[in-house]
Amino acid sequence: MLLHIPDVLDREQVADMRRRLEAAAWTDGRETVGAVGAQVKRNLQLPDASPLRRELGETILVAVAKNPLFFSAALPLKYLPPRFNRYAGGGTYGYHVDGAVMNLSQGEQLRSDVSCTVFLCDPDEYEGGELVVSDTYGEHEVKLPAGDMIVYPSSSLHQVAPVTRGARLASFFWVQSMVRDEGRRRLLFEMDSALGVLRADKADDRALLQLTGAYHNLLRQWSEV
Ligand code: NI
């Protein structure tokens, strides 16, 4: 499931991040991928050890933690601290699949279940740069307003199309979900969304209580925490 989550960051947060990122020291994005990824990756990243990466990443994690739509869709257990990248002058990242297991800074491992990209530039500021996610329904091109986020299963094949004009700044990170299976996460998300509508419509209390109980009991059966 691809899900667009609008307004994760407000305009002021985006402007502040961009000002600081434009002045930052960037390194070759190939430093954080293996040999296969390095063949198709042409972009710049903030170095993993950069204090700016840590600080801006924290702002993003605080923002997503307050977002109920993100929580409902991702059911996050742990996060890889957000990274930041910049594509310009034909920069691209050809089709690839993200690594399944990643090292967290504390020597702890993270299984990548959900991939997240927060757009920091508006679509009319650059040409190309679409995130293209390929799944059984075909290819989906994603290019969102600054401050918006896309979440998609980390198991998907995906690419970033070449940026042929301007520059594309974004933040990206991975989530290990409490629910590993994408189909189960989707079912829980649909159920939770429908419960929200029923609650707003002041549906029958008893039926609502039963359905809410069923949601939590499914989450209890399927979550690994
Ligand atoms: Ni990727």
**CA 213 – ligand 1 centroid, Å:** 36
Of 8, 2, 49, 46, the C-alpha closest to 25 is: 46
- pTM for the model stands at 0.94
Do 83 and 60 form a contact (C-beta atoms < 8 A)?
no
pLDDT for 76 beyond 90? yes
Average pLDDT over residues 140-154: 97
Backbone torsions φ then ψ of 143, nearest 5 degrees? -150, 105
What pLDDT shows up at residue 23?
Answer: 93
Q: What is the pLDDT of residues 120-143, one digit of tens each?
A: 999 999 999 999 999 888 999 999
**CA 217 – ligand 1 centroid, Å:** 33
| Rounded Cα gap, residues 155 and 135, in angstroms | 9
Q: What is the pLDDT of residues 98-127, one digit of tens each?
A: 999 999 877 899 999 999 999 999 999 999
**CA 169 – ligand 1 centroid, Å:** 15
What pLDDT shows up at residue 136?
Answer: 86
What pLDDT shows up at residue 22?
Answer: 93
**CA 201 – ligand 1 centroid, Å:** 40
Average pLDDT over residues 40-57: 94
What pLDDT shows up at residue 137?
Answer: 87
What is the chain's mean pLDDT, rounded?
95
- Number of residues that this document lists for the chain: 225
**CA 162 – ligand 1 centroid, Å:** 14
CATH fold, domain 3-177, is Jelly Rolls (2.60.120)
Domain ranges within the chain, ordered by starting residue: 3-177, 182-222
- Which amino acid would we find at residue 112? S
CA distances from 154 to 1, 90, 116, 162 (A): 10, 25, 9, 21
Q: What percent of the chain has pLDDT over 90?
A: 88
Average pLDDT over residues 172-185: 98
**CA 200 – ligand 1 centroid, Å:** 37
Q: What percent of the chain has pLDDT over 70?
A: 100
Question: For the chain, what is the HEC assignment?
Answer: CCEEECCCCCHHHHHHHHHHHHCCCCEEHHHHCCHHHHCCEECEECCCCCHHHHHHHHHHHHHHHCCHHHHHHHCEEEECCCEEEEEECCCEEEEECCCCEEECCCCCEEECCEEEEEECCCHHHCEECCEEEEECCEEEEECCCCCCEEEEECCCEEEECCEEECEEEEEEEEEEECCCCHHHHHHHHHHHHHHHHHHHCCCCHHHHHHHHHHHHHHHHHHCCC
What pLDDT shows up at residue 203?
Answer: 83
Asked if the 182-222 domain carries CATH number 4.10.860.20, the reply is yes
**CA 11 – ligand 1 centroid, Å:** 26
**CA 154 – ligand 1 centroid, Å:** 8
**CA 110 – ligand 1 centroid, Å:** 15
**CA 157 – ligand 1 centroid, Å:** 8
Backbone torsions φ then ψ of 168, nearest 5 degrees? -115, 115
Backbone torsions φ then ψ of 162, nearest 5 degrees? -55, 140
Tokens in use for 97?
A: 């699949």
**CA 214 – ligand 1 centroid, Å:** 35
**CA 152 – ligand 1 centroid, Å:** 11
**CA 108 – ligand 1 centroid, Å:** 21
**CA 209 – ligand 1 centroid, Å:** 40
Average pLDDT over residues 161-184: 97
**CA 100 – ligand 1 centroid, Å:** 11
| Rounded Cα gap, residues 186 and 135, in angstroms | 15
Do 95 and 134 form a contact (C-beta atoms < 8 A)?
yes
What pLDDT shows up at residue 36?
Answer: 78
